[in-house]
Amino acid sequence: MEPKFRQEARRFTGSTGSEFELVAAGASGSLAYTAGFEHSSAVVDGIPAVYTMRTTHVYRNKGGVWRIIHRHSDLLADQGRRGRTP
């Protein structure tokens, strides 16, 4: 794992909840995607935070098993860098 990702991961000391709100999905052959909003609550830098990310997953079916092959998420613009505190 890259040092930057290790450093970022250390900021999160606990997840207190997560829910995925599906907005769109599709599949063709062995590829599929989902897009939606990921609502999460966690402890970041010792501070409880609640935030929503716009998230897209791309899946590939190999041997009858669907696996995520790409994920992209970003915070909604009005939440700033660290999300909202409850």
> How does residue 85 score in pLDDT terms, banded at 50, 70 and 90?
very low
Is pLDDT at 62 greater than 90 in this prediction?
yes
> How does residue 7 score in pLDDT terms, banded at 50, 70 and 90?
confident
List the structure tokens of 31.
């590829």
In sequence order, which residues have a C-beta less than 8 Å from that of residue 6 and are 6 or more positions away? none
- Which residue in this structure is represented by tokens 């501070």? 47
For residue 1, the model assigns a pLDDT of 58
Separation of alpha carbons 68 and 58, rounded Å: 6
Buried b (16+ CB within 10 A) or exposed e, 31-49: ebebebbeebbbebeeeeb
Higher pLDDT, 10 or 19: 19
Is pLDDT at 80 greater than 80 in this prediction?
no
